[in-house]
Amino acid sequence: MKVTKILVLGFVFITMGCQTIRMKYESTVTAEDGTRDQFLYENSYPVGGAHPTLCAITGILLGGSCWYYLVMPTVQQKQAILEDAETVLNKKMAGKKYDEAKVRVSRVSFSEGEEEFELRPKNRKTSDQTR
């Protein structure tokens, strides 16, 4: 009976814990006046599909479909954060023209979290952080 409870709790924990992916978007922003800033954006997105359930069911067999999590973020997940980061940056720049370079998207974790963004001067310790 205890083994069944442990297995059910484990299944629920794995399934619920792998529902979202938290990603980070980083870029160097050069405004039309020549100032360079670093833009950071973090947000959580749904993993989507049956991946959490399949991972929980097949995970006991050498990792099963849980290996798919190693290739995340997927193209669709990257596209979602690119669009969201562009929207936030456009609002933050308030209509000023700018160019972006060194754009990088990476996985932070598989967890929930609030949207966070920051536009800070390049090579300085001070920051203008907004949540």
Q: For residue 115, give its domain range.
A: 2-130
Contacts of 33 (CB under 8 A, 6+ apart): 96
Query: How high is the pLDDT of residue 68?
Result: 79
Query: How high is the pLDDT of residue 103?
Result: 95
Each of the 131 residues of the chain gets a pLDDT tens digit; together they read 677 766 665 555 555 556 889 999 999 999 988 899 999 999 999 887 777 777 777 766 766 777 778 888 989 999 999 999 999 999 999 888 999 999 999 999 988 889 999 998 876 444 444 44
The model carries a pTM of: 0.74
DSSP conformation letters of 4-16: HHHHHHHHHHHHH
Spatial contact of 22 and 43, defined as CB atoms under 8 Å apart: yes
* Total number of domains in the chain: 1
